[in-house]
């Protein structure tokens, strides 16, 4: 995960979000997708993943950052990305209750935990603001949005959706997202259906408009994925 980009706080009052880089595009909002680990996967796939996407003012989705790790590392990275980019929505597979609840209950992500009030009627927080390296304010929280079960179960439809978006020029990947690039450039889509990066991307794409048209055609195992198209 990189921490050299962030949303300028004064742009929250505008019709678009600006980053600290003058060359960066302008954005409508930032969202997060989380994919759970694949126990049968390689060194990267055997870790949970969070992917950050920004919806630009031209409606293209820019995948801007990624992080893989165990559940504690995932939570910390998700909080950091939420704080840096004011990402208000987190899309994930909620069917695994034991994995979802730590995200839901994390202090500093979907809520800030209060222990009550002191004698002067001031809030007593579980952690002070210095606990989070990129803390903005306590109004900056995210909501967890479970993706519908058909989205979780239909991997082939997810591949088709990604390819379609890339061919329409509506999906971009920042060069620093090397694991996203690797997943999207695999020659056999079946090999990455359970990869957490792939899952996080699918949920991210769903979160752009929360609509999903399922494809009845299956994707050939020899069909290229997305990143190859992006490089043309």
Q: Cβ atoms within 10 A of the Cβ of 55, count?
A: 20
H or E element in which residue 137 lies:
none
Q: What is the mean pLDDT of residues 133-150?
A: 94
**3 part of a folded domain:** no
Q: Are 95 and 75 contacting, i.e. CB atoms less than 8 angstroms apart? A: no
**1 part of a folded domain:** no
pLDDT at 84 over 60: yes
**33 part of a folded domain:** yes
Which pair of structure tokens corresponds to residue 190?
């079946």
Which pair of structure tokens corresponds to residue 93?
């597979």
Assign 21 to helix, strand or coil. Answer: coil
C-alpha distances in Å from residue 45, one per residue of 55, 112, 200: 26, 31, 12
Q: What is the mean pLDDT of residues 92-102?
A: 92
User: What's the rounded Cα separation, in Å, for the pair 109 and 204?
Assistant: 18
Question: Residue 113: its pLDDT value, please?
Answer: 97
Number of domains in the chain: 1
pTM: 0.89
**54 part of a folded domain:** yes
The CATH number that applies at residue 60 is 3.30.420
**20 part of a folded domain:** yes
User: What's the rounded Cα separation, in Å, for the pair 137 and 60?
Assistant: 28
Question: Residue 212: its pLDDT value, please?
Answer: 59
**2 part of a folded domain:** no
Q: Are 6 and 20 contacting, i.e. CB atoms less than 8 angstroms apart? A: yes
pLDDT at 45 over 90: no
User: What residues make up the domain containing 40?
Assistant: 9-230
pLDDT band at 216 (very low <50, low <70, confident <90, very high): very low
- What is the DSSP secondary-structure string of 39-53? TTS-TTTTSEEEEEE
Question: Residue 230: its pLDDT value, please?
Answer: 41
Write down the H helix ranges in the chain. Answer: 71-85, 97-105, 149-153, 155-167, 178-184, 196-209, 227-230
């Amino acid at each position: 995960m990189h921490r050299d980009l962030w949303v300028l706080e004064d742009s929250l009052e505008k019709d678009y979000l600006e980053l600290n880089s003058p060359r960066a595009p302008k954005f409508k909002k930032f969202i997060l997708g989380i994919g759970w680990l694949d126990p049968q996967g390689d060194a990267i796939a055997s870790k949970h993943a969070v992917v950050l996407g920004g919806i630009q003012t031209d409606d293209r989705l820019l995948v801007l950052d990624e992080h893989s790790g165990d559940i504690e590392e995932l939570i910390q990275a998700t909080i950091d990305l939420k704080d840096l980019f004011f990402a208000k929505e987190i899309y994930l597979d909620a069917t695994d209750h034991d994995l979802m609840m730590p995200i839901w209950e994390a202090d500093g992500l979907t809520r800030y935990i209060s222990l009550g009030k002191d004698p002067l009627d001031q809030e007593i927080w579980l952690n002070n603001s210095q606990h989070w390296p990129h803390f903005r304010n306590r109004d900056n929280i995210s909501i967890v949005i479970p993706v519908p079960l058909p989205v979780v179960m239909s991997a082939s439809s997810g591949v088709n959706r990604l390819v379609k978006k890339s061919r329409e020029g509506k999906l971009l990947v920042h060069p620093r997202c090397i694991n996203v690039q690797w997943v999207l450039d695999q020659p056999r889509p079946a090999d990455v259906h359970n990869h957490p990066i792939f899952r996080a991307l699918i949920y991210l794409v769903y979160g752009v408009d929360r609509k999903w048209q399922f494809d009845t055609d299956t994707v050939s195992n020899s069909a290229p994925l997305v990143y190859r198209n992006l490089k043309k």
